[in-house]
Amino acid sequence: MSTTQSERLRGLLEPLVSAADLDLEEIEVSRAGRRRMLRIIVDSDEGVELDACAELSRAVSEKLDETDAMGEGEYVLEVSSPGADRPLTKHRHYVRAVGRLVKFQLHDAGTADELVARILTVDDEGLDLEVPGVKGRKPTARRVTFAEIAKARVEIEFNRKDKKEEEA
């Protein structure tokens, strides 16, 4: 997708996404055979429900039909949440991952160091983490700055209790 089209779509769609109390994470236009695929990824601090995606999809579809932002050809519109395996790249992603186990690749004197830890708190400079203990040892605290992080991705935990379950 050209930068101009991307900027135009973002300018057109961001007010609709904001009005739905969501954050516009990504806009992607790709080819799917003869048709084009417009994928819009949205998120919020509380997550995104299917009904919110459906409602936003209708609003986006109406807006795109009013304009020529997608041109004359056919396209498929998909509105969804980022999914559990998306990389953490923005401050708000880390804030939303507080309490979650994350796999980090760190810049460490020119080499990539890997760390798996739970995010405890997030501030403007970095993260306070809890590194799980190995072989019965107690967890340890660690501070990581954003500058040290090369990549970060939430680890899926199948046996993790949800905050809502703990409160019940």
Q: Report whether pLDDT(167) > 80.
A: no
pLDDT digits (tens, 9 = 90+) for 107-131: 865 555 888 999 999 999 999 999 9
Average pLDDT score over residue span 33-42? 87
Q: Report whether pLDDT(163) > 60.
A: no
Q: Between the CA of residue 46 and those of 9, 92, 113, 143, what are the distances in Å?
A: 25, 12, 31, 26
78, 35 contact by CB (below 8 A): no
Q: Tell me what pLDDT residue 166 has.
A: 47
Question: Is the overall model pTM greater than 0.75, yes or no?
Answer: no
The region, left, alpha or beta by phi > 0 then psi within -120 to 50, assigned to residue 99 is left
What is the rounded radius of gyration, in angstroms, for the C-alpha atoms of the chain?
19
